[in-house]
Structure 1
């Protein structure tokens, strides 16, 4: 991993996409969802500018337009709005499924909602963040980017989820404890360690929430 850790957008994992045609530009029947990613225009019904979750390296971003098309089976939760009325969160209801939430909210790769929120599965009453700030680092959920063969993924994920719960509770001391006791030794890139350490030292919950929650 490069030493420059400023989050840089990249095409998301977890969904099929088409590369642009060099000579003709945007392929017929496809729509640009940002960062060189193209998806079928009619894949998500009723969504003219589908949103897309991009995750790569130490960054996460949602491009496009999140639109609530209404509650339905397997996506009956509630949306949260900012002061301008934009959808920034979704509270999970019992029985909700990420792909159906994605269909409801015009998110092409809704299957990535759990990963975006640093968790393996979604659960009732969980508040999913839908507006990550691409200028703030996002710590990978499954393993550090520099992880080698045989990396212990489960302990890492448990630590990341613990960091997320503590961030949501505003408990920076617990986050520092998890970092020092278990998580820090799982990273090998000094620049990444320094970046996370500085965020914990400052206690900035906006940054820490983006990183881990």
Structure 2
């Protein structure tokens, strides 16, 4: 996702748990409610790595690109033939690849929510569910991103998890704002983000505006990000606000 002003940084190479990432922060965009303010976004798509790509020298054979400079082993978890990848970072979230429902199973017995095109969008947590089993059910290669995307440390029965973020809608970081300084107080920030999510789920935009005005807005460093959130609250589009905070 890319706003009019891109967030650009230096690039570094990471190799973690078999995942090779050429890491650069995602860029941000928002359309629909603020289409004139933001540039169109491009959703990453999982594609095979080719010899013509500029790859890290030590990248093993048999990897695929999932966009944003990230490369993962080909295939997928469990019985999946390919992997989806949830990109979360900066002020953006997007899905690379496709979610495929492998069917209910132990630790992933909840129900699926579809959009009007039949795409998997949400998942309602059943008692005993675990993120790793949920990720295996839907062929998601980075299970820890499920909780992060949904602004939580743990998942709860009855919770509706977003699995397919809209790449044209901003996403507010859960742990701390972008560019937070060293020593930033995470606990008050996360409590406010959690409260915003509860209010969004209750369709209470006025409560969200009150939380924002009562101190959450002061925790953000980048004035552009403050403006993005303030505009969303002014418009009051709950679909947007739920992705941003819920």
- Whether TM exceeds 0.5 here: the answer is yes
Q: Which runs of 5+ in 2 are unaligned?
A: 9-15, 23-48
Looking at structure 2, the residues matched to 88 and 22 of structure 1 have their Cα atoms a distance apart, in angstroms, of 30
Equivalent residue, structure 2, for 1:11: none
Equivalent residue, structure 2, for 1:18: 20
Looking at structure 2, the residues matched to 85 and 7 of structure 1 have their Cα atoms a distance apart, in angstroms, of 33
Instruction: Report deviation, 1:28.
Output: 2.6
Equivalent residue, structure 2, for 1:191: 224
Cα 1:54–1:176 change in 2 (3 A) is same
TM-score (norm 1): 0.88
Say yes or no: does 1:158 pair with 2:191: yes
TM-score (norm 2): 0.77
Instruction: Report deviation, 1:179.
Output: 0.5
Looking at structure 1, the residues matched to 92 and 233 of structure 2 have their Cα atoms a distance apart, in angstroms, of 18
Q: Which runs of 5+ in 1 are unaligned?
A: 9-13
Instruction: Report deviation, 1:42.
Output: 3.7
Looking at structure 1, the residues matched to 67 and 74 of structure 2 have their Cα atoms a distance apart, in angstroms, of 13
Looking at structure 2, the residues matched to 7 and 53 of structure 1 have their Cα atoms a distance apart, in angstroms, of 19
- Give the one of 109, 128, 152 matched to 1:95: 128
Instruction: Report deviation, 1:54.
Output: 0.4
Q: Which has the higher contact order (CA 8 A, sep 6+)?
A: 1
Looking at structure 1, the residues matched to 5 and 236 of structure 2 have their Cα atoms a distance apart, in angstroms, of 19
- Measured on the aligned residues, the alpha-carbon RMSD in Å equals 2.6
